[in-house]
Amino acid sequence: TQNPVLRHITDYLIEEVSAEEEELLGQGQGQGQGQGQGQGGATNPPEDGARESNPAEVTVERDEKLLKVLDKLLLYLRIVHSVDYYNTSEYPNEDEMPNRCGIIHVRGPLPPNRVSHGEVLEWQRGFEARLSPLLAGPGAVPEEEAQRLGRKDPEQELEKFVSANTQELGKDKWLCPLSGKKFKGPEFVRKHIFNKHSDKMGAVRKEVLFFNNFLMDPKRPALPEGKGGPPPGPNAGLAPGGLPYPPQTPQGLMPYGQPRPPMLGYGGRGGRGGWGG
């Protein structure tokens, strides 16, 4: 990754695997160890025997090397995604808070004594229950609703981009405004764009993906829906007091405007066909 915060941590990241597969692997290793002990007649060390004397208690240990990697990931979540991991919360409108990125919770100290296995399981269940809403991926918006909001088809947007950058100058003379080269037919311009301007085609795909993900996110920023009021009266065009203009609101009390979804533009001018690069 090019992010300096996440540098040198890829060796510690693992892919998600099946829980059943992990359980089977764990059982297989346990059976192999049990058979080896039975055949060799090995005995448990004194430390293991002391732990087995009270299996309901566990000792909390710290791995400082892994904690450094974990802290980098948690800092990335906090700065980039506004997710406060240890508080299991998200700050969606952080730009409206008094201080940007002003709140972050950190780990507490280790317990001085051994804790019971039940306490560990209870803490894990509660923490995962609070964290699960933050891990829910996109897709909560129904497909019909996404289409109504204007979901884009990647292939259609690519065709629009190609059409916007295919200009007819005359008989058997076509221009690609991206490079300024001329061709004998539109099919040659199309081939030229796909072969020589793949970076711009990739930018179109990324923009479409960003736009669709924005629409499919149920927590996306949006303007509040207005409620229908009473029908206008004879003085509907006048402000209170009969003035033709509304009273001025102090600037400090004006609400922040929510960002609007990105707009996809095509045509209307040469060059990039409405796409910035």
The 3-class SS string of the chain reads CCCHHHCCCHHHCCCCCCHHHHHHHHHHHHHHHHHHHHHHCCCCCHHHHHHHHCCCEECCCCCHHHHHHHHHHHHHHHHHHCEECCCCEECCCHHHCCCCCCCCCCCCCCCCCCEEHHHHHHHHHHHHHHHHHHHCCCCCCCHHHHHHHCCCCHHHHHHHHHHHCCEEEECCEEEECCCCEEECCHHHHHHHHHHHCHHHHHHHHHHHHHHHHHHHCCCCCCCCCCCCCCCCCCCCCCCCCCCCCCCCCCHHHCCCCCCCCCCCCCCCCCCCCCCCC
Rounded mean pLDDT, 117-123: 87
Whether 147 has a pLDDT exceeding 60, the answer reads yes
Residue 215: its pLDDT value, please?
Answer: 84
Who wins on pLDDT, 32 or 141? 141
Rounded mean pLDDT, 197-222: 87
Whether 269 has a pLDDT exceeding 50, the answer reads no
Rounded mean pLDDT, 149-177: 93
Report field, pTM of the whole predicted structure over 0.75: no
Who wins on pLDDT, 183 or 11? 183
Whether 135 has a pLDDT exceeding 50, the answer reads yes
Provide the greatest CA pair distance for the chain.
Answer: 100
Whether 58 has a pLDDT exceeding 60, the answer reads yes
Confidence of residue 31 (pLDDT cuts 50, 70, 90): very low
Q: Which of 26-40, 45-59, 133-147, 256-270 has the lowest mean pLDDT?
A: 26-40
